[in-house]
A and B are shown apart, each in its own frame.
Chain A
């Protein structure tokens, strides 16, 4: 039997009501209760993940590298796995470029590669834009290609326009470059080429490529955070949303995570 959106919504609302007072700041204990709740983790993994994002520092301070590596791959909920992955990035920041390269290109769990790829950026930033683009196309793993694509666009930011990014978010030399073009485009939609919330929602749902949907979702996240929506409102929206629009779902997840921290 599959849970319908409405039934998910009802179930999650009941479970969360025990933990969070909507709109209020969440304590570490409350967040740990959410990520530790297997029901939420199973029926609303994005809510679990949103809480997990806010526990990264706590996990980094309280758990060993070995414990985190175990939790990243076999944590019982999305929240635990998310918190562990982000905490691992913090712990990995003490590693050398050789260690980080080995981790982010290794034949290991993608979440561990992702955790290593973030601090690796501190070294990759020294590369030229051309070399970063090459890495974003032909790097050994998705994670390192995505990291390189991020820095490639950071390096060439002086040449970026909304129009250029709109083209590159649709068609690019690699999926990772297109994805990152979308993320950077989201910044333009919040500044030099503003779009309305309705336009962003539509883009996040039905943009013509993943990159364009990411652009809409990235900008939408900020508008959701700046809106009057409470944590409870966002939780309800996530619970009712289903998984048909993953980029839109991610926007609400990121906004909820921020709400948990404020």
Chain B
């Protein structure tokens, strides 16, 4: 009898093992609606790439751990870099030419008046756990997550229309959804590309759908303590394991629906490991030693890697003419101490436009470019990325960058000092440091994320220049996630940080609109916007309300100039040129893209790279 039990147990194990094996195999055959990436095909965006082979583990490094796995509630790239590997939207930007192209939707139609978009979804494709993807997931993602007021998400800010409505997402059948707009909304295809999430895995956390769970439960779903096996996605990779301060390991999603023209399922890599390291120095050392396959480098790394480029068979990619997407800035918290009635002097000072203008004059951009970037950077002044066709340094939509209308606060200690004198911030006791009117010293803390040597360098330059005119600015580096917490709790005084960017200015609505979830330098504007903030809100609305790009360009030009010259919510620093390094054994690494991320490796299109 015991023997029979044992045999039964073995059989059970074999059967369970078989079931798991079937699941892990993914599709039995290539789905009819798979997305084919035409690598190497002439006349396509991918003609300079080549089909690869599956296999291998790709290594890179990051100096920050993720904060969670939940894209919807995330704010920081240390989290979203993983979410974007696990999730996909209805549409996406082509990694090479930025054109909007089909993703989970295989096609779409637009009504004559432009107000109704009908998306035809790919059929026969599955989530990473094998569950079929359907229109229910799309409707769930928008109606129950992004539009759900119980859910904390910045994505609402880029989906909201000027009339305060949202695109209405409705299921027609299992593989068709419509998106209906109440008015013209130029960037709808951009906004509607927000990642789609699995209803079958996440509905249980949404109070609206499951009243048994408290309101807001979803906000803590898919935290770092979640078993990776519970994470479900449609992207190329899924999290296999996570060890704090050590690594995140991702594995190929067996149900990813992208294939190359040879019929090989993507991604090519079996695994993708992101090592957590203490600093960019360690990343550089590990890359030099061959422990990493690619590295987002800084200009100061270029000479070091150039001398090893030929010997170690790597490529140091330097494109001095291409500034990375995104912005680098000093955030001055105008709400500091507002919650508990502290920091009154400092808050008043930070809310004074001329103080922020003085800070702008203290940003020695040329010194930053020369010493931190070896000349491989450009001065930054606008909230819109240099590469965007809407960048106000151009004379017209998509035109060449001329910087004719650039807002320039030239580095000038005299002008900065005069502005501070003008608002009564002077040295009243002769100790060499400037004081408030009540005689107490103006002393401020400047934070950035420790380990980012460039931001640390920016902070040191700014605090040094401030000290030259008697302004006491104490630089204190802190851990990245601590820094992010300071931003959201509104407890940081002054912060050097950056934001990702893209071509579409409206994607900055979550930052620059007065009610934006990332309006971190003045959160109280949601209730009491300044006149300038009201104007910026109006300009953002106007920019999305026209389908004419030339008209939108003029609107966004005024928006950028207003933000940079008058509002000065953020004081911009410099924008680095695109620099990247990878070992030549990595195929298709030349499709790197100038999008700044903590590890730099999202500059690579990870599902297309392979080992030669």
Tell me the A residues contacting B by CB distance below 8 Å: 118, 121-122, 125-126, 151, 154-155, 157-160, 183-184, 186-188, 190-192, 218-219, 221-223, 225-226, 254-255, 258, 261-262
State which of B303, B453, B457 has its C-beta within 8 Å of the C-beta of A184. Answer: B303
**Cα(A253)–Cα(B304), bound, Å:** 20
Q: Is the CB of A261 within 8 A of B310?
A: no
Q: Does B10 contact A (CB under 8 A)?
A: no
Contact A187 B307 (CB under 8 A): yes
Q: Which residues of A contact B284 (CB under 8 A)?
A: 154
Question: Assuming the A-B contacts A187-B307, A190-B306, are A261 and B313 also in contact, with contact meaning beta carbons closer than 8 angstroms in the complex?
Answer: yes
Cβ–Cβ contact A187 & B306, under 8 A: yes
Smallest CB–CB gap between B104 and chain A, Å? 42
B residues near A222, Cβ cutoff 8 Å: 306-307, 309-311
Point out the residues of chain B lying under 8 angstroms from A125, CB to CB.
279, 281-282, 285
B310/A221 in contact, CB under 8 A: yes
Q: Which residues B227-251 have CB closer than 8 A to chain A?
A: none
In the complex, the answer to whether B310 meets A121 with C-beta atoms within 8 Å is no
- List the 8 closest A-B pairs by CB distance, nearest first: A187-B303, A225-B310, A187-B307, A222-B310, A190-B306, A191-B306, A157-B300, A186-B307
Q: Does B536 contact A (CB under 8 A)?
A: no
Compute how far the CA of A191 lies from the CA of B308 in the bound complex, rounded to whole angstroms: 12
Query: Given contacts A122-B285, A154-B284, A159-B371, are A191 and B302 in contact (CB under 8 A)?
Result: yes
Cβ of B545 under 8 Å from chain A: no
Give per-residue flags for B288-328: 1 if the beta carbon is below 8 A from chain A beta carbons, else 0: 01000000000011111111111101000010000000000
Q: Is the CB of A126 within 8 A of B304?
A: no
Say how far B301's CB is from chain A's closest CB, in angstroms.
7
Interchain nearest-CB distance for B61 vs A (Å) = 12
Q: Smallest CB-CB separation from B282: which chain A residue?
A: A125
A126-B278 contact in complex given A154-B284, A159-B371, A222-B310, C-beta closer than 8 Å: yes
A115 CB to nearest B CB, Å: 14
State whether A121 touches B278 (Cβ < 8 A): no
Q: How many pairs of A and B residues are in contact by the CB < 8 Å rule?
A: 79
Minimum CB distance partner of B460 in chain A: A158
B307 surroundings in chain A (CB, below 8 A): 183-184, 186-187, 190, 218-219, 221-222
CA distance A219 to B303 in the complex (A): 10
Q: Given the complex, which residues of A lie within 8 Å of B310, measured CB to CB?
A: 221-223, 225-226, 255, 258
Interface SS of chain A: helix
In the complex, what residues of B have CB within 8 A of residue A126's CB? 278, 282
* B598 at interface, CB cutoff 8 A: no
A125-B285, A160-B303, A187-B304 as given contacts; A192 in contact with B372, CB under 8 Å: no
A122 cross-chain contacts in B, Cβ below 8 A: 282, 285-286, 289
The listed residue (A190, A192, A254, A262) touching B313 by CB distance below 8 A is: A262
Asked if A192 and B303 make an inter-chain contact with CB atoms under 8 angstroms apart, the answer reads: yes
User: A226–B314 Cα gap in the complex (Å)?
Assistant: 12
A154 touches B285 (CB 8 A): yes
Residues of A within 8 A of B282 (CB): 122, 125-126
Once bound together, how far apart are the Cα atoms of A258 and B279, in whole Å? 30
State A226–B315 Cα separation when bound (angstroms): 12
Report B's interface with A, CB cutoff 8 A. Answer: 278-279, 281-282, 284-286, 289, 300-311, 313, 318, 371-372, 374-375, 453-454, 457
Bound CA span A125–B282, Å: 7
The minimal Cβ–Cβ distance linking A229 to chain B, given in whole angstroms, is 12
Which residues from A are CB-within-8-Å of B453?
158
> Nearest-CB distance from A45 to chain B (Å)?
19
Chain B, Cβ-Cβ closest to A190: B306
Give chain A residues whose Cβ lies under 8 Å from the Cβ of B374.
Answer: 191-192
CB neighbours of B289 from chain A (8 A): 118, 121-122
| Most chain A beta-carbon contacts within 10 A, residue among B278, B302, B311 | B311
A230 CA to B304 CA, complexed, in Å: 26
CB-CB under 8 A from B286, the residues of chain A are 122
Residues of B within 8 A of A221 (CB): 307, 310-311
Q: Is A155 a contact partner of B306 (Cβ separation < 8 A)?
A: no
* Neighbour of B304 across the interface among A184, A226, A255, CB < 8 A: A184
A118 CA to B286 CA, complexed, in Å: 12
**B316 — nearest CB in chain A belongs to which residue?**
A191
In the complex the two chains form, what is the Cα distance from A223 to B374 in whole Å? Answer: 22
Known contacts A186-B307, A187-B305; decide if A258 and B313 are in contact (CB<8 Å).
yes
Identify 29 residue pairs between A and B in the complex whose beta-carbon atoms are under 8 Å apart, listed by A's number.
A121-B285, A121-B289, A122-B286, A122-B289, A125-B279, A125-B282, A125-B285, A151-B285, A157-B301, A157-B303, A157-B304, A158-B371, A158-B372, A158-B453, A184-B303, A187-B302, A187-B306, A187-B307, A190-B307, A190-B309, A192-B302, A192-B374, A192-B375, A219-B307, A221-B307, A222-B307, A223-B310, A258-B310, A262-B313
Chain B, residue nearest A162 (CB): B303
Docked Cα-Cα span, A187 to B311, in Å, equals: 12
Q: Which residues of B contact A158 (CB under 8 A)?
A: 300, 371-372, 453-454, 457
Provide the bound-state CA to CA distance between A121 and B309, in Å.
Answer: 20
Judging by beta carbons under 8 Å apart, are B303 and A188 in contact? yes
In the bound complex, residues from chain A placing their C-beta under 8 Å from that of B318 are 191
Residues of A within 8 A of B306 (CB): 187, 190-191, 222
- Least CB distance from B286 to A in Å reads 8
Task: List, in ascending order, chain B residues with CB within 8 A of A225's CB.
Answer: 310-311
CB-CB nearest in chain B for A156: B300
User: In the complex the two chains form, is B281's CB within 8 Å of A154's CB?
Assistant: yes
Interface centre among A158, A225, A258 (most CB of B within 10 A): A158
A222 to B286, CA, bound (A): 21
Report how far A154 CA is from B302 CA in the complex, Å.
11
Query: B300 contacts which chain A residues (CB < 8 A)?
Result: 157-158, 160
A153 to B127, CA, bound (A): 48
User: How far is the CB of B103 from the nearest CB of chain A, in Å?
Assistant: 39
Given contacts A121-B289, A125-B282, A126-B278, 20 further A-B contacts (CB under 8 A): A118-B289, A121-B285, A122-B285, A122-B286, A125-B285, A157-B303, A158-B457, A160-B303, A184-B307, A186-B307, A187-B303, A187-B308, A190-B303, A190-B307, A192-B375, A219-B307, A221-B310, A225-B311, A254-B311, A258-B310
